Amino acid sequence: MHIFQIGECEVMPQRLGILGGTFDPVHIGHLRIAEEAVEKLALEKLLFIPSADPPHKTRKDIVRFQDRWEMLKLAVESNPRFDVSDVERRMPGKSYSVQTLRRLREEALAETDFFFLLGLDAFLELHSWWHFRELFSLACLVVLPRSEYDPGLIEHFLRREISSSYSWEREGSSFLHPSLFPVYCLKGTVIGVSSTQIRRLVGEGRSIRYLVLPEVMRYIEKNGLYTALA
């Protein structure tokens, strides 16, 4: 399997999804979100980007990057539209999404539309992110609600924090702007699983089968990850 590293490829997909996170560990919820995004947004590729040094966590709070990277490789290797990038490992300092998107744009070898996926809760907290307003000039944002939601929440945030020129397009489930990138609302399958839950179960010596792929479960067992949480 080719592990996607922008800047080393001859051809860059024109519609590229981006799903970042600590992935500690990657689970079926992450994979299902990505699968539905590829399908509904007609993406040529979706790139999983594990955070190297997340600003909201300390390194001692997460397992080392290499383990999270290896688990992601195992999780995506059977899907030709999924890839993994170590772009944040190759960048110095904290892993800020704006800097990551800047780097991806710099390394793109063809005209590319970027689709940056994030949960509704994270979207409504964007004002706490570093240089968050720049995100809207770098990529289409794709908001992933966990359940029924009020588009007015997103509209209120956009008008308060970004621009009063964003307008709701009900047919396309999106907010459009004359010069900034659109913001899409993508409702999908809700899978009640979290990385926190998986770490807790492993720490308690309980099964995580069917919450992660078998390859990921074997990696966790082989390397004794999360057992120290017991």
Q: What percent of the chain has pLDDT over 70?
A: 92
Question: Does the pLDDT at position 201 exceed 50?
Answer: yes
What would the DSSP string read from start to end of 134-156?
GGGGTSEEEEE-SS---HHHHHH
Weakest mean pLDDT among 4-13, 18-27, 151-160, 169-178: 4-13
Nearest to 226 by CA among 54, 71, 77: 71
Domain boundaries, the chain: 15-191
Question: Does the pLDDT at position 7 exceed 70?
Answer: no
Average model confidence (pLDDT) across the chain: 91
Question: Does the pLDDT at position 3 exceed 60?
Answer: no
3 state SS of 31: helix
Question: Does the pLDDT at position 126 exceed 50?
Answer: yes
Read off the pLDDT of each residue in 126-140 and give the average, rounded to a whole number: 96
pTM over 0.85: yes
Contact in structure between 83 and 46 (CB atoms under 8 Å): yes
Q: How far is CA 27 from the centre of its chain?
A: 12
DSSP classification of residue 181: P
Residue 203 CA to residue 211 CA, distance in Å, equals 15
- Confidence category of residue 209, pLDDT binned at 50, 70, 90: very high
Alpha helices of 58-132 — where are they, by DSSP H?
65-76, 97-107, 120-124
Weakest mean pLDDT among 27-36, 74-83, 103-112, 148-157: 103-112
Residue 21 CA to residue 24 CA, distance in Å, equals 8
Read off the pLDDT of each residue in 191-209 and give the average, rounded to a whole number: 96
Domain covering 15-191 assigned CATH 3.40.50.620 in the classification:
yes
Q: Which residue has the tokens 């309980």?
A: 206
